[in-house]
Amino acid sequence: MDIFIENKQIGPGYPFYIIAEAADNHLGSMERAKRMVLEAKKAGADAIKFQHHLLDEEMLPVIPMSDNFKEPLYEFLKKYALNLAQHKELKQFCEKIGIQYLCTPFSWKAAQELEEMGVDVYKIGSGEMTDIPMLERIAGFGKPMVVSTGMCTFEEIDRTYNALIAKKVPLALLYCISEYPPVYEDCNLKVITQMVERYPKAIIGQSDHTPDPYTCFAGAGLGATIFEKHVTLSHSLPGPDHDVSIDFKELAILVDGLRKIEKALGDKKKVHAREEPIRQWAFRSIVTTRRISNGATITGDMIWSKRPGTGIPSWKRNEIIGKKAIRDIPANTLVSVNDFK
């Protein structure tokens, strides 16, 4: 099923869709959040994504924490999560400067509030990927859903894929490793090609937590067409995501690289017009190794190959051996079919 975000079609054969994931790296500051929007636009990203947290709808106050958190997530978000009015302001700001506003809801109520705001698409985090009851409700809005698949088995992804395809919602699945940051040995990027084959009714992309652009470049060659990357204004800021984020100079490098790869991913093997002049001097033709007299029978030691490639192609050498010369041919000379019978 085709996916359109605003007026952009996404998927194989269309330009890559690049998402700058702001997450909560704004630390609750609207000035910082708007600066991130401006920097993402400047770097060439298609969209910038934020997160909508309603804490008591989303989690219990005390939950287990991974080692990338220096304080409990509940307490961190209590200090830094944006409220609904701030999200509305950011959406308007994005529309004003010409970059797509995206947002991840972390609860059903957050999704309802985003729907009231008029969002164009729902980005679902890996933690909610298996929450099929909530995903089915969100699918009821009839808008595209882009779902990350970190820390999930194929069986879990299958279940969500089947549920959302049954709802006839435009769907993208993002390959993801939910490590912060992942070790490269865990990336297993060839899974992207497996997902392309396994989920034919979904667009496949990549949500990447490595601290550089390289794995996204590889993913582009493996079938991913959507790319999500955490961004930060400074790695020195507090919070769990800065260490897995790239700065906006690095985002510009990522965008530039993906745009070049996008152009380079054709699948037709042919001789291009700009290669033709190179063929003429770089290929090899048959030349004489010594003077050949009129009437001589051509033997292998009389001819060999040299540049340029404007004469008889060297691969036809065996066709010339055994023929008779019909004129005197000087040594070290490009021969032609008219020299033999």
What is the Cα–Cα distance from 227 to 292, expressed in whole angstroms? 64
| Burial class of 330 by CB neighbour count within 10 A (0 to 12, 13 to 18, 19+) | exposed
| Per-residue pLDDT, 236 | 85
Give the CATH number for residue 31.
3.20.20.70
- Residue 164 lies in domain: 9-264
Q: Give yes or no: residues 61 and 204 share one domain.
A: yes
CB 110 within 8 A of CB 53: yes
What is the Cα–Cα distance from 40 to 26, expressed in whole angstroms? 13
Q: Give yes or no: residues 136 and 252 share one domain.
A: yes
pLDDT in tens, 159-197: 999 999 999 999 999 999 999 899 999 999 999 999 999
Among candidate residues 264, 295, 314, the one where a domain is terminated: 264
Q: Give yes or no: residues 109 and 234 share one domain.
A: yes
| Per-residue pLDDT, 19 | 98
What is the Cα–Cα distance from 182 to 125, expressed in whole angstroms? 17
Q: Give yes or no: residues 196 and 88 share one domain.
A: yes
Q: Does some domain include residue 4?
A: no
Calculate mean pLDDT across residues 232-241. Answer: 85
Q: Does some domain include residue 121?
A: yes
Say whether pLDDT at 18 is over 70: yes
CB 195 within 8 A of CB 204: yes
Calculate mean pLDDT across residues 17-34. Answer: 96
Q: Please count the structural domains in the chain.
A: 2
Tell me what the pLDDT averaged over the chain comes to.
95
Q: Give yes or no: residues 101 and 134 share one domain.
A: yes
pLDDT in tens, 81-128: 999 999 999 999 999 999 999 999 999 999 999 999 999 999 999 999
Q: Give yes or no: residues 299 and 249 share one domain.
A: no
Report the share of the chain in percent with pLDDT over 70.
98
Q: Give yes or no: residues 24 and 96 share one domain.
A: yes
Question: Quick one: which H or E segment has residue 319?
Answer: helix 317-320
pLDDT category at 260 given cuts 50, 70, 90 is very high
Q: Does some domain include residue 147?
A: yes
pLDDT category at 237 given cuts 50, 70, 90 is confident
Q: Which amino acid is at 90?
A: L
Q: Give yes or no: residues 219 and 296 share one domain.
A: no
pLDDT category at 69 given cuts 50, 70, 90 is low
Residues 6+ apart with CB under 8 A from 225: 10, 11, 12, 14, 16, 17, 203, 204, 205
pLDDT category at 238 given cuts 50, 70, 90 is confident
Among candidate residues 243, 264, 285, the one where a domain is terminated: 264
The SS3 assignment for 85 reads helix
| Per-residue pLDDT, 73 | 83
Q: What are phi and psi of 77, to 5 degrees?
A: -70, -30
Q: Does some domain include residue 194?
A: yes
What is the Cα–Cα distance from 268 to 24, expressed in whole angstroms? 43
Q: Does some domain include residue 3?
A: no
CB 190 within 8 A of CB 215: no
CB 2 within 8 A of CB 203: no
Structure tokens at 23: 């997450």
Give the CATH number for residue 316.
3.90.1210.10
What is the Cα–Cα distance from 25 to 33, expressed in whole angstroms? 8
What is the Cα–Cα distance from 234 to 255, expressed in whole angstroms? 19
Among candidate residues 244, 264, 284, the one where a domain is terminated: 264
Q: Give yes or no: residues 203 and 144 share one domain.
A: yes
Q: Give yes or no: residues 70 and 138 share one domain.
A: yes
CB 135 within 8 A of CB 164: yes
What one-character-per-residue DSSP string does 169-188 give? --EEEEEE---SSPPGGGT-
pTM here is 0.90
Q: Give yes or no: residues 236 and 306 share one domain.
A: no
Q: Does some domain include residue 236?
A: yes
| Per-residue pLDDT, 241 | 75
Q: Give yes or no: residues 332 and 223 share one domain.
A: no
In the chain, DSSP assigns E strands to: 3-5, 8-10, 17-23, 47-52, 100-105, 122-124, 145-148, 171-176, 203-208, 226-230, 285-288, 303-306
Q: Does some domain include residue 279?
A: yes
Say whether pLDDT at 68 is over 70: no
Q: Does some domain include residue 81?
A: yes
Q: Which residue has the tokens 């308007």?
A: 92
pLDDT in tens, 305-335: 999 999 999 999 999 999 999 999 999 999 9
